[in-house]
Amino acid sequence: MSCVISSSSPPSFRRENSGLSTRRKALLLASSLSYSSLLHFLSNSHFAKAQGKDESQEEEERVVRIFQEASPSVVYIKDIELQSTLEGEDDDDFGDAKIEGTGSGFVWDKAGHIVTNYHVVAKLAKDSSGLHRCRVFLEDSDGKIFSREGKLVGFDLAYDLAVLKVDIERDKLRPALLGTSHELKVGQSCFAIGNPYGYDHTLTTGVVSGLGREIPSPNGSAIRGAIQTDAPINAGNSGGPLIDSYGHVIGVNTATFTRKGSGISSGVNFAIPIDAVVRIVPYLIVYGTDTRYRF
């Protein structure tokens, strides 16, 4: 007589234990994967924030660098009316002179030529009394501001451009870096440096909003090919440079549309393209006027 010991119960027990072990392993694996995913997400999130911060800092530093490099080339121009002109009087002193208006400009070359808008120096150009003067404020290599009288060399009403000249040592002048305007694209970053409302060396930022615009000139004709930008341009910015992301001048800030009766800029601002400026200014320096571009 044989005794058969049933083995059905122990194998079942082993299978249950085996199944439980597998489920535990699966749960542990899932938990581990979830924890790893969370760590990965948090790590990536932190990295993304750090990367975004770095990119933001880099952009900020780039703008600061552009301003620091371009700013010494920008000048502050005051249109001054003397109370009287007496023989032997030192006109360069301008003691009790009245300030008629202000504007901006930039250093063109080491010879002391300054480019600005005609309308900034219009009173000087039209003066027959000998009472009008132009005072140009510049920045030296140490960041110190000094001034010289600006003599009118030439002007072109059709493009609202004028050239002044200051008598100064060449090593104190830092000519602006000139770019081109024919390859500009809408959406490019741009920066305006000038003296709005008398606040010298002010930086405003924006983009090229449009190209090939037409704006009125002082002689009533149209300035064609103007650059439109949303970089704020206000009274006192006229004649200052519009520059690109490389610090190169791409235009001369000239006009802004204001909300009627408010005097507030609408964000629609214009600059004369530098390609036109480069064609005209040498003629103004040599001949005083440029009849080629008159209408």
Catalytic residues: 119, 160, 238
What is 201-226 written as a DSSP string? SEEEEEEEEEEEEEEE-TTSSEEEEE
User: What 3-state DSSP class applies to 228?
Assistant: strand
| Alpha-carbon distances, residue 86 vs 82, 98, 128, 154, 164 (angstroms) | 10, 16, 15, 26, 24
User: What 3-state DSSP class applies to 155?
Assistant: strand
How many residues are present in the chain?
A: 295
Q: How far apart are CA 238 and CA 104, in angstroms?
A: 6
Contacts of 25 (CB under 8 A, 6+ apart): none
| Alpha-carbon distances, residue 191 vs 40, 215, 248, 274, 286 (angstroms) | 40, 20, 10, 14, 30
